[in-house]
Amino acid sequence: MIEIENLTFRYGTRSTPVFDRFNWQVAPGEMWSIIGASGCGKTTLLTLIAGLRRAASGTIRVGGTVIHRPRPETGLILQDYGLLPWATVWDNVALGLRVRRFYGPDGTHAPRTQALSRRAARGMVEEWLSRLNIEDQRDKFPGAISGGQRQRTAIARTLALQPDVLLMDEPFSSLDAPTREDLQRLILQLRAEMNLTSVIVTHAIEEAAMLGRQILVLGQPPNTTPVIVSNPGAGTYGYRGTTDFLEKCTELRRLLGVE
């Protein structure tokens, strides 16, 4: 589903690339975590996959499409929510659908016959308000709701677009522990229901181990050969309290050099 071949990327004229002939693959339906120290390229890799940055060389394919620009079927959830502060929860969830209705599914001002109808879009918003349990917040502005509710709004906005790939950049890092774990469970449930190919960037070892069936560990640049940790217990009920989970966290700490 995601294929990266001989990727090279550097910022400006820096002599050391962040990625140098880097190769990596994510199969359809897989859930990956990406972890590493600050400055190692976690968010950079995510934005390259999302089509928000251009590589110096190499190829990135998502769903068979070579990525040169954002792909409509790829959803992105950010740490800072990305909500419009002057729009209600309902309008924020509807925003992506409104943009898509105007520009069409491929961003080229498609005729309205190819775009989602207004009635269908409203139904999609209502569905996701309900599924994310934020129906009672629909008329409130982002500044009047909690951080967890803001992130639920951002998740609803993204999933209402029915992506087949979900990219997440530290979406829970600013939340308290109970809210963070609640939203982790929610993401696992929704991605399983929708069979989403998913990648989450995180700096939290426990979160990486809880969510990613496969974990990509990035080191200090240049990243050339991916370090991959298999984690088959991730996402299963009660995994957080098992010996396997603790051992996986210990392995990640060793790879990151924090023990």
Q: Which CATH number fits domain 76-162: 3.40.50.880, 3.40.50.300, 2.60.40.3880, 3.40.640.10?
A: 3.40.50.300
Which pLDDT score is estimated for 237?
83
| Lowest mean pLDDT segment, chosen from 98-102, 138-142, 249-253 | 98-102
List pLDDT tens digits, range 36-86: 998 899 999 999 999 999 998 999 999 999 999 999 899 999 888 889 999
Asked if the 1-73+165-259 domain carries CATH number 3.40.50.300, the reply is yes
Would you list the DSSP string of 171-218? TTTTS-HHHHHHHHHHHHHHHHHHT-EEEEE-S-HHHHHHH-SEEEEE
Q: What is the pLDDT of residue 173?
A: 86
Is residue 90 predicted with pLDDT exceeding 80?
A: yes
Say whether 7 sits in a helix, a strand or coil: strand
Query: How confident is the model at residue 113, as a pLDDT?
Result: 46
pTM of the model: 0.91
d(CA 97, CA 154): 13
Instruction: Provide the pLDDT for residue 20.
Output: 95
- Token readout for 90 is 């309902």
Q: Tokens 């974990």 map to which residue?
A: 215
> At 14, is the pLDDT very low, low, confident or very high (cuts 50, 70, 90)?
confident
Centroid of chain to Cα 74: 9
Average pLDDT value for residue range 116-129: 86
54/96 Cα distance (integer angstroms): 23
Q: What's the whole-number average pLDDT of the chain? A: 90
* pLDDT digits 0-9 by tens, 22-41: 999 999 999 999 999 988 99
User: Can you tell me the mean pLDDT for 108-114?
Assistant: 50
Whole-number pLDDT of residue 103: 47
Does 76-162 match 1-73+165-259 at the fold level?
yes
Contacts of 182 (CB under 8 A, 6+ apart): 148
> Distances in Å between the alpha carbon of 250 and those of 33, 177, 228, 244, 255?
16, 20, 15, 10, 9
Residue 253 pLDDT exceeds 90 = yes
For the ranges 100-114, 150-164, 213-227, the lowest mean pLDDT is seen at: 100-114
The pLDDT of residue 99 is: 81
> What is the domain partition of the chain in residue ranges?
1-73+165-259, 76-162
Q: Give pLDDT, residue 166.
A: 96
